[in-house]
Amino acid sequence: MVMEKDRKVILLGLCVTALVCIFAMAGCGVNTSEKGAGNAQIKNTVTQESQTIGLTGVDNARQLGEYVTTDGKKIKDGILLRTGKLSGATNEDITTLTGKYHLTEIIDLRSTAEIEAALDPVIDGVTEENVRIADETSPAYLTAMSVVRTDDPVGDAITEVENGTISDTLYSYIVTSTYGQQAYHEFFEKLLAHENGAILFHCSAGKDRTGLAAVLLLSALGVDRETIMEDFALTNDFYADNIDYMVSETKKRTDDAKIIEGVYAVVGANSSYMEKMFDAINEKYGSMDNFLKEAIGLTDKDVTKLRDMYLE
């Protein structure tokens, strides 16, 4: 019989497995950054407490609001929300989303199979759209979704790492793949078309596909890289118990540092993977700004509109 904690870990593992295979076919703290005007120093607080939106049935539920950009503007509070899947949302959670945050739109980044396995609730007054980050026609995707998980999440995670499913070039590959770039272009199109209230985007665990979406969005809004990386790593605070359990159990079975690191990435957010993505982008495109324009397809007008919509 699978314990509740194990069920959650299994789901997180499924999310990562599917995500990696889809594209295989081709911390918290306060940071300081330079402010554009007058070179003054600004500080962004990046903690679980500062970013949580207070949901009890939804994992990794937080917002991007209140971060100050490099030119001294600030992301509007309570408008850009990011979470794991919403299938476990309680009535109180839904009241919070619609009452406190005035949620009007949801962007679901999951695959068809993931959606069918864990349907989001239908919320009055809220539209939901799907941007499939997964290429569901690819042999790699079909293979990933056919994998039968066992009642041993630690063993499953170790197998993933040993089979090469998890690698430190995961995010780099996604953002340099044509399919991934087109999918995130569609994500930005929906952000640009949003009209009022909060907009929420999520995948299954809210850490990989959603994490990449948040990194690209924060970059487009002009948030400094240190803040972006700390926001990405907040997943490790929200999933701290699961991470501790998986890593400690893995260490009982192996002392291989690569396997331990890989298992950590199955459940949590490995910042070194995201750093490699930034390096890959800089090497190929020269900068994140160039990448957003040349690969994702954002025009100068799009960037200006995004900042007008979501900054104050």
Domains of the chain, by residue range, sit at: 4-310
Task: Tell me how far apart the alpha carbons of residues 92 and 312 are, in angstroms, rounded to a whole number.
Answer: 29
User: Could you give the CA distance from residue 290 to residue 228 in angstroms, rounded to a whole number?
Assistant: 17
Considering the chain, what is the average pLDDT of its residues?
88
pLDDT score at 224: 97
Residue 228 pairs with which residues in a beta bridge?
none
CATH topology assigned to domain 4-310: Protein-Tyrosine Phosphatase; Chain A (3.90.190)
For residue 12, what pLDDT is reported?
53
Q: What is the CA radius of gyration of the chain?
A: 19
This prediction's pTM: 0.88
- Indicate whether 115 pLDDT > 90: yes
The region of weakest confidence among 10-14, 150-154, 182-186, 241-245 is 10-14
pLDDT at res. 134: 80
Beta strands 80-83; 103-108: pairing state: unpaired
pLDDT band at 36 (very low <50, low <70, confident <90, very high): very low
Min mean pLDDT across 87-96, 138-147, 218-227 is at: 138-147
- Is the pLDDT at 30 greater than 70? The verdict is no
What is the model's pLDDT at position 5?
53
| pLDDT surpasses 50 at 204 | yes
Given CA atoms 17, 85, 220, 53 in this order, what sign does their dihedral have? negative
